[in-house]
Amino acid sequence: MIAVLKQSATPEQIAYLTRWLEGMGLEIHTYHGNNTTVLGLTGDTGSVDMELLGSLEFVDVVKRVSEPFKMANRKFHPNDTIVEIGNVKIGGGHFAVIAGPCSVESEEQIIDVATQVKAGGADILRGGAFKPRTSPYVFQGLKEDGIRLLLEAKKATSLPIITEIMNISTLDLFEDVDIIQVGARNMQNYDLLKELGKTGKCILLKRGFSNTLQELLMSTEYIMREGNENVILCERGIRTFESYTRNTLDLSAVPALHELSHLPVVVDPSHATGKARMVPPMAAAAAASGADGLMIEVHNNPSCALCDGAQSITPAQFAELNKRIQAVRKAIE
């Protein structure tokens, strides 16, 4: 971190600031130029309040030269992390496809979709049990029963399963769940992230609607610094001025996150577009962008889905999409 001081900074002010920063355990390197003094701060600068430092009357600008995220940072971990879920691997050249309905609705529905997505090439089954819905008046998920049915589908197909947690008080129910999803709405629920960091579970962390990549990576720190390094990042579209699609799929997040971090990145084109017909082309684009996997909503009868029917593709469309993804992956190899 660098602090550029104003020309008017007095030697007393510089000495005061240096003592204050040293008191925080930092090393201070001082450069006196003709017009300005520059302080180079090294050590653990993550806890320095940049706004506070910048607000001092004799400080001109404060700049970070290294990112505040450490555990997820590629600089400290140059090799790609490969997250393993049973026989499935994600990251470091391993591509995995997560597919299934937005919500688990019944035993018949989840077993049928699970069987069909497996036949269509899915590696992992998704299904929401605790649903974070915008309206409290609509289907909120089958909750505990939803997880039970998802586990039945896991038994029937031997696909690993992923489902979303909304509250840490339900953690016990996730014992046999392979990947715990933290949804966009909870990306900055730091207490939840910290508790999940204490579990050995693989966590899929979705980017919040209006969150920067740095904020997403800072959220991963909350999980990783508790000892859990099994984190998968998920780009699921962000909110922009465009209203034609549900969100705007920020595909540049894929190479950007790969540059910044060693963690695998999957893309969810279903929540990003909100329109089933746009899912296959954006899934192909995501694969072409270098994503490590996809999360696709698939329903056996989208027009009757209790949640997100408009963005759900059918199992037949999913199988087609998957063939296209294989072709794209081969083409960019």
Residues near Mn ion (CB under 5 A) are 102, 308
- H or E, element range at 153: helix 144-157
Q: How far is it, in rounded angstroms, from Cα 245 to Cα 249?
A: 9
Q: How far is the CB of 254 from ligand PEP (least distance, A)?
A: 16
Write down the least CB distance from residue 191 to ligand PEP, Å.
18
Query: Which listed range, 27-35, 110-118, 183-191, 225-233, lies at the site for ligand PEP (CB under 6 A)?
Result: 183-191
Q: List the one residue from 17, 104, 184, 231 that touches ligand PEP (CB under 6 A).
A: 184
Judged by beta carbon, residue 103 or residue 289, the one nearer Mn ion is: 103
How many alpha carbons fall within 13 Å on the CB side of residue 66?
17
Q: How far is the CB of 301 from ligand PEP (least distance, A)?
A: 18
The item of ligand PEP, Mn ion, none sharing an interface with residue 92, based on CB under 5 to 8 Å by kind, is: none
Q: Which does 183 bind (CB under 5 to 8 A by kind): Mn ion, ligand PEP, none?
A: ligand PEP
Rounded to a whole number of angstroms, the minimum distance from the CB of residue 306 to ligand PEP is: 12
**Binder of residue 21, out of ligand PEP, Mn ion, none (CB less than 5 to 8 A by kind):** none
Binding mask 265-284 for ligand PEP (x = CB under 6 A): ------x-------------
Q: Is the dihedral of CA 44, 50, 56, 61 positive or negative?
A: positive
Contact 62, 50 (CB under 8 A): yes
Report how far residue 103's alpha carbon sits from residue 302's, in angstroms, rounded to the nearest whole number. Answer: 11
Q: Which residue has the tokens 């929401």?
A: 128
Q: Which two tokens stand for residue 86?
A: 């049973």
Q: How many residues bind ligand PEP (CB under 6 A)?
A: 10
Strand duo 83-85 + 2-5: pairing: unpaired
**Partners of 163 in the β-ladder:** 180
Q: CA-CA distance, 180 to 189, in Å (whole number)?
A: 14
Site residues (CB under 6 A) for ligand PEP? 102, 128, 132, 164, 183-185, 206, 236, 271
